[in-house]
Amino acid sequence: MKPIPGLSPSYPLLGNALAFPSNGKDFFCRLIEYTDQFRNRPLMKVWIGPVPFIILFHVETIEVVLNNTKHMDKAHAYEFLHPWLGTGLLTSTGDKWRRRRKMLTPTFHFSILTEFLEVMNEQAEVLIRKLEKEAGQGAFNCFNHITLCALDIICETAMGKKIYAQSNYDSEYVRCVYRMSDIITRRQRMPWFWSDFIYNILGEGREHSRSLKVLHSFTEKVISERAEHIANTESDTKGQGTKKRRAFLDMLLNATDENGDKLTYKDIQEEVDTFMFRGHDTTAASMNWALHLIGSHQEVQRKVQQELQDVFGQSDQPISTEDLKRLRYLECVIKEALRLFPSVPFFGRTICEDCHVNGFMVPKGANAVVMPYALHRDPRYFPDPEEFRPERFLPENSEGRPAYAYIPFSAGLRNCIGQRFAIMEEKVVLASILRNFNIEATQKREDLHPLGELILRPQEGIWIKLEKRAC
């Protein structure tokens, strides 16, 4: 890998690890600085400890990796997620990933997603009632309000369980998700803590174990309760033709692979933990970033609210699937927010065979880090990339843009299985808020300080003012 342009100096055993601060905000800022420096270079190499990484943020280099069926394995850093998420859909590789993906894809069929719309509307209504108490009261941090709404939605749709997170502002589960994310990403950046033995003695091993216990206890309890509920419901409703609301967990409990084998209890917990984490934290972050951007651009807000007026008039009816199709400009707003602030700012793959990337030979075993945050700021495809312009995603303005220039949900065979669910949820929640309130952002872009961890989050939350709209 010596010919590949990279950072210097690089030290034995540590590589370039000392060039990066350990805290999330400064680490991410430094990484973005390096991508800006290498914007016109063909490739960028970084050594973290003894592990080499190529950093990819150009369409040409990203497509080579994501479009190749050989480079399907996740990078070395994902091993630190295994104690929490096991080897479910997010972290598994090879045949296990292929079998699991094939088995789970039908659970995200549009007809099933439509059933979840009722849950999304119900929880959005709970959120509106909470936000009404903040309207006219000055600036407040909306981040946790949105997160708890997303958690209620994913709990009921993924596990069929109401947990009333929005009524319990201080959710231990949410706190442990954030803490675990912080612990894992800090360990990923510090090669001297990669050894479990050293980490458990000198690092945050005990806190890691405490958070893990909370997270696993939560999902274990829900799985066992749901399995018991399904068994009782089936016996109670046999022959009555009663239609019950399905959840992902119901489908997991009944799913079989191509050999007719059912998922084990451990298999199910892997997927539930993955759905719970990826299914609420990513959408919550995305909706919060969108609220800041909408509240900072009043002309965009007026256009969204005009579209809502055209679709709903003065009605307060719940949002239907037909309504969602008509909210085209709101979808452009969501996509542009995801361009500027992708929920997953970077992700990694292992190079599984020698390959050539932009003229350089990259050997088998190297790691590739794909950076949507930097990719989405390529001025070739997004002129004035820091400007918030939802019109970029109108059909006539998207023509000719390479498929791999915009990848908020990854791309290729390992793209996000839940992206339609995420867009549907964001449309419902944001439309509900904007039907009821006018939003004013009270932070400037430079005040947000994005934390580039497992999820892209603002360091100090999202602060807005709300004003109740006249009916």
Rounded Cα gap, residues 144 and 418, in angstroms: 22
Contacts 24+ apart (CB under 8 A), 11-14: 13/49, 13/50, 13/191, 14/49, 14/191, 14/192
Do 427 and 327 touch, CB atoms closer than 8 A?
yes
Closest C-alpha to 54, from 319, 329, 354: 354
> Is 423 strand, coil or helix?
helix
CA dihedral (172, 174, 179, 184) positive or negative: positive
Torsion of Cα atoms, 452 then 456 then 460 then 461, to 10°? 180
Relative orientation angle of helices 205-237 and 172-189, to the nearest 10 degrees: 130
CA dihedral (371, 373, 379, 382) positive or negative: positive
> Is 170 strand, coil or helix?
coil
Distances (CA, A) of 368 to 26, 103, 234, 307: 21, 27, 48, 41
- At position 133, the amino acid (one-letter code) is K
CA dihedral (257, 259, 260, 265) positive or negative: negative
Do 369 and 58 touch, CB atoms closer than 8 A?
no
Looking at residue 262, what DSSP letter applies? Answer: B
CA dihedral (208, 209, 214, 218) positive or negative: positive
Q: What is the DSSP string of 175-201?
A: HHHHHHHHHHHHHHH-GGG-SHHHHHH
Residue 176 among known ligand-binding residues: no
Q: Which residues are annotated as a binding site?
A: 416
Instruction: Give binding residues for heme as ranges.
Output: 416
